[in-house]
Amino acid sequence: MLEIRHLEKSFGNKQVLFGVDLTAQQGHILGLVGKNGAGKTTIFHSILRFLDYSGEIRLDGKAISQETYKEIGYLPEERSLMPKLTIFEQVRYLAALKGMSTAEVKEKLPTWMEKLQVKGKLTDKIKSLSKGNQQKVQLIITLIHEPKLIILDEPFSGLDPVNTEVLKQVIFEEKERGATIIFSDHVMTNVEELCDDLLMIRDGSVVLSGPVQEVRNSYGKTRLFVSNDFSIEELEALPHVTKVTMTKQGTWKLILDDASAGPELFDRLTKGHYLATFDHQAPTIDEIFKLESGVEV
């Protein structure tokens, strides 16, 4: 478990983190989200002790040290592979920094190559790989030493949907192994799919924190999806409906000003007849992210 208490950081006269508290549970995936410049990377770099900071950061009750660092796997947003090395040389070099021997790398690397469906041989140079396969090699380096804490910053960058799904399954496997995982992505559908818990940061301060579904429910069930032979005029005329749009799936999406209006709207819409879709939901994490960023949805 990772615990951060009262984390503050300034660069010169500019303060960028303001008393951040964060708890990432073992065997859970925590989504750390925020706009560019919100402070996410500064939090990551503080955990890794790339920066001096004020506050307390502990992994399984221990302060981060050189020994603790070996129990962390970090996939940065900016990739840092050495193009002239072979896959094996690159993995061996960085795995050695985490305490792995050459023999351990030789034993485990082929399994990871197969698991992540890397197209290439161990003797292929990094520069010969596609961007997606380089990304997979970087993830192998992050995970091969079986870290207790895994930090994934934009792990799906440059990947197609099929390879994104491969990586998602590996992330779920690491969760099942019992790792503590912090995941950051600008695609909120990925955050909602993968994460158990959410922490949203804005301008260096925490604005939302908690289990994903609890965060959603705290906004009330103000989204209603219906399908049948309704016109947009009929739906806009309903009580408590402030906005009506058509989704790409062909259902109507109604924004409500009162989360308790569902039963009344159900009666009005069905009138005792069959209704193909009536789905009353809280806002998605994507909508909440936009709302907290001042964007109308």
Residue with tokens 């596609």: 130
pTM of the model: 0.89
Residue 4 clears pLDDT 90, i.e. is over it: yes
Contact 187, 31 (CB under 8 A): no
* Burial of 75: CB neighbours in 10 Å, binned 0-12, 13-18, 19+: buried
pLDDT in tens, 136-156: 999 999 999 999 999 999 999
User: What was the pLDDT predicted at 249?
Assistant: 87
Residue spans per domain, the chain:
2-209, 220-281
Distance CA(124)–CA(88), nearest Å, equals 8
- pLDDT per position as a tens digit, 160-212: 899 999 999 999 999 999 999 999 999 999 999 999 999 999 999 999 999 99
Please give the mean pLDDT across all residues of the chain. 92
Mean pLDDT for 275-282 is 90
Indicate the length of the chain as a whole number: 297
**pLDDT tens readout for residues 77-90:** 887 899 999 999 99
pLDDT of residue 181: 97
Find the mean pLDDT for residues 254-275: 89
The answer on pLDDT for 275 being more than 90 is no
Q: In this predicted structure, what is the pLDDT of residue 170?
A: 95
Which pLDDT value is given to residue 167? Answer: 94
CB 79 within 8 A of CB 90: no
**Percentage of residues of the chain with pLDDT beyond 70:** 99
List phi, psi (to 5°) of 182: -110, 125
Query: Is the pLDDT score of 297 beyond 70?
Result: no
Q: How many CB atoms lie within 10 A of CB 144?
A: 21
Of 205, 198, 189, the residue nearest 30 (C-alpha) = 198
* pLDDT (tens digit per residue) in 218-232: 999 999 999 888 889
Rounded-to-integer distance, Cα 215 and Cα 129, Å: 40
Average pLDDT over residues 254-272: 90
**Regarding the domain delimited by 2-209, which CATH topology (the fold level of the hierarchy) does it fall under?**
Rossmann fold (3.40.50)
Flag whether pLDDT at 42 surpasses 80.
yes
120: pLDDT strictly greater than 90: no
**CA distances in angstroms from 256 to 231, 236, 245, 264, 283, listed in the order given:** 17, 11, 12, 12, 11
How far is the C-alpha of 126 from the C-alpha of 120, rounded, in Å? 9
Higher-scoring residue by pLDDT: 297, 260: 260
pLDDT in tens, 49-66: 999 999 999 999 988 888
For residue 73, the tally of other CB atoms under 10 A from its CB is 22
Q: What is the DSSP string of the chain?
A: -EEEEEEEEEETTEEEEEEEEEEE-TT-EEEEE--TTSSHHHHHHHHTTSS--EEEEEETTEE--HHHHTTEEEE-SS----TTSBHHHHHHHHHHTTT--HHHHHHHHHHHHHHTT--S-TTSBGGGS-HHHHHHHHHHHHHTT--SEEEEESTTTT--HHHHHHHHHHHHHHHHHT-EEEEE-S-HHHHHHH-SEEEEEETTEEEEEEEHHHHHHTT-S-EEEEESS--HHHHHTSTTEEEEEE-TTS-EEEEES-GGGHHHHHHHHHTTS--SEEEEEPPPHHHHHHHHTT---
Sheet holding 205-211, edge to edge: 72-75, 149-153, 180-184, 29-33, 197-202, 205-211
CB 149 within 8 A of CB 2: yes
What is the per-residue pLDDT for 70? 87
Task: Give the tens place of pLDDT for each residue, 231-250.
Answer: 899 899 999 999 999 998 88
> Side-chain half-sphere of 103: how many Cα atoms within 13 Å?
0
pLDDT confidence of 11, banded at 50, 70, 90? very high
